[in-house]
Amino acid sequence: MTAASIDPRDRLIFALDVPDAIAARQLVEQLGDSVTFYKIGLELMAAGGYFELADWLLKRNKKVFADLKFFDVPATVGRSVALLAKRGITFATVHGNQGIMEAAAAAKGELKILAVTVLTSLDRGDLDDLGFKCDVEALVLSRARRALEAGCDGVVASGLELPAMRRAIDSRLLVVTPGIRPVENRPSDDQKRVVTVEQAFADGANYIVVGRPIRDARDPRAAAEAIQQTIARQFSATS
């Protein structure tokens, strides 16, 4: 997969963060063809019916990003990734050290492995609490380099570190950027390191992940389609 080969409409990944699979299916039906790529994470895993939902999405020609952030002993992660790779899912995340990333990459088959760099809900103060004394950008770049060395296909990284990453890291590395806010961030939002749709792609993101700005909109389908139109304009201008 190269940056040029990505369908612009696939560049929007909707974070399907809802309480259960019934709510998820209802929202997918509401969104219709405005979204082609869905991220399903831990909340839906805990609710039950996770893989049934993934299969349901795949049967509707949707792409699936399994955001489960595998973190365990490498052998367990490798076996889990190998099983996940049989399901037709496009992306899965790992969140661990070099051995974990290498095990995931070795078992991935056609599944693309994304290494989490630094969660977009964390800022400098949070990293101090966790014992990381380097600055956020240095930590993101270090983890991105190590992910590429381990054989991962890409990383999940905030848009704030994208310019430095694209200057310093091989362009083969796919970058999926969460924390996207089409409008000003709300004070109650737990995403601290955010960027706009335009800024993320201008700085080198391959995909963006958007959740609440679509899910909580008065008209989720219209909100998703507005983002799709922004993406289409941006890529038609650069083609």
Catalytic positions are 69
Q: Which two tokens stand for residue 33?
A: 């063809």
User: What does the DSSP assignment read for 72-85?
Assistant: S-HHHHHHHHHHHG
**CA 237 from chain center: how many Å?**
24
Measured in residues, the chain has a length of 239
Tell me the CA distances in angstroms from 150 to 113, 119, 125, 238, one per residue in order.
10, 20, 29, 32
Q: Which two tokens stand for residue 212?
A: 């609440």
Between CA 145 and CA 237 the distance in angstroms is: 30
**Contact present, 67 and 115 (Cβ < 8 Å):** no
Between CA 19 and CA 36 the distance in angstroms is: 21
**Contact present, 80 and 73 (Cβ < 8 Å):** no
Residue type, 145: R
Q: Of 47, 154, 25, which Cα lies nearest the Cα of 92?
A: 154
**CA 185 from chain center: how many Å?**
19
Contacts for 188 with CB less than 8 Å, ≥ 6 apart = none
Q: Which two tokens stand for residue 126?
A: 């949070």
